[in-house]
Amino acid sequence: MHLTGKNKAAIVLGLLPALLVYVVFAIYPILQSFYYSLMDWNGFTDMKFVGLQNFKNLFQDPLFWNSAKNNIFVVAASVLGQIPIALFIALLLNRKLKGVKIFRTIGFIPVVLSTVVISLTWNLIYNTKNGMINELLRSVGLDFLTQNWLGDTKWAMISVCITVIWQFIGIYLIIFLAALQNIPEEVLEAAKIDGASEWITTWKITVPMIWDTIIVAIILCISGSLRTFDLIYVMTHGGPSHSTDVMALYMFNETFTNLQYGYGSAVSVVIFFFSLILILLVKKLLGQKMV
């Protein structure tokens, strides 16, 4: 018996605390950002209604397009880096080998660390003077390959993306492993008896069987990397000369550095819809294939 409607007062009382906090501090702010996006406002003086002017300005700002382009680069690097590597390692770990658990444990470590700690650690690694990478190159006599990894417009974005990829492989690794372990053993046994090689089994049976999980992972990867902010804020602050600027960072700077609260809110709204559209698109494209 589910307790039924006679306890209305209790139900209201029970839901109220959570609903109140959630509405005031999560829903109300997101609605406000839609409202502010139509205003010209520096956060202190009176607001002025300007309609869609903020959006118009936004779409004409080359710096915004630059940040959007960089953002897509981060998304592409994450999807093409994290998903295949995680899948590959997961396939390797999904055998009855000794010591597999240790690799899983180590693989997940970066996921639990805070992005700030990761960013600062990698800043030290990329350091020009005595960072790990340049030091390593020097020690094997490849001095000419040393770079100012985060200070050179040519390398900064690539360096940042490597850190992004490194940070989140673990989570997809675990997701894929869980899916792989759900494949019934008989299916793979049957393929083996039919004489299918491991390569064929992997591509024709294993991967299609976890295809749904792979799509979920790709969507997660897109929505996560689209929101990249902390990492780039700490590592490069969008520099050098906007080469690592992403949309959330552009919004942050426009709002809190240039004090354009209305304009910044317009950027927020664009980010919100941009990520929604991208995710729906991926769902549509990948969802129909192979199923």
Partner 1 sequence: MESTLKSNTRSKLVLDQGSKKKNIKNTLIYAVLILFAIINAYPILWMVINSFKSEKEFAVNQFGLPKTFVTQNYIDAWNTANLGVLFRNSIFICLIATIITVLIGALASYFLARFEFKLSKAVYTFFIFGMLIPIHATLVPMFILLKNLGILNSPITLLFPYIAFNLPITIFILTSFMKSFPKDIEESAVMDGCGIFRIFWSIILPMSRPAVATVIILNFIHNWNEFSFALVLINDPTLQTLPLGLASFAGQFTVNYGAQMAGLTMSLVPILIFYLLLEKEIVKGMTAGAVKG
> Can you list the alpha helix ranges (DSSP code H) found in 127-257?
132-139, 156-181, 185-193, 198-200, 207-209, 211-226, 230-235, 247-252
Rule CB under 8 A: say whether 29 interacts with partner 1: yes
- Listed ranges 55-63, 116-124, 142-150, 181-189: which one lies at the site for partner 1 (CB under 8 A): 116-124
- Listed ranges 62-70, 89-97, 149-157, 186-194: which one lies at the site for partner 1 (CB under 8 A): 89-97
Q: By rule CB under 8 A, what string of x and - marks binding of each residue 151-190 to partner 1?
A: ---------------x--xxx--xx--x------------
- With a CB cutoff of 8 Å and minimum separation 6, the contacts of 118 are 110, 163, 166, 167, 231
Q: Which is nearer to partner 1, 5 or 184 (CB)?
A: 5
Query: Exposed, middle or buried, 173 (CB in 10 Å: 0-12/13-18/19+)?
Result: buried
Q: Which is nearer to partner 1, 77 or 248 (CB)?
A: 248
- C-alpha distances (whole Å) from 289 to each of 204, 208, 211, 282 are 14, 10, 10, 11
**Residue environment code for 129-144, b if the CB has 16+ CB neighbours within 10 A, otherwise e:** eebebbeebeeeeeee
Rule CB under 8 A: say whether 281 interacts with partner 1: no
- Listed ranges 57-65, 73-81, 147-155, 252-260: which one lies at the site for partner 1 (CB under 8 A): 252-260
- Listed ranges 67-75, 153-161, 182-190, 272-280: which one lies at the site for partner 1 (CB under 8 A): 272-280
Rule CB under 8 A: say whether 64 interacts with partner 1: no
HEC secondary structure over 120-157:
HHHHHHHCCCCCHHHHHHHHCCCHHHCCCCCCCCCCHH
Q: List the interface residues with partner 1, window 189-248 (CB under 8 A).
A: 216, 220, 224, 226-227, 229-230, 233-234, 248
- With a CB cutoff of 8 Å and minimum separation 6, the contacts of 119 are 163, 230, 231, 234, 235
The minimum distance between CB 135 and partner 1, in angstroms, equals 5
The minimum distance between CB 258 and partner 1, in angstroms, equals 12
The minimum distance between CB 117 and partner 1, in angstroms, equals 5
The minimum distance between CB 254 and partner 1, in angstroms, equals 10
Rule CB under 8 A: say whether 106 interacts with partner 1: yes
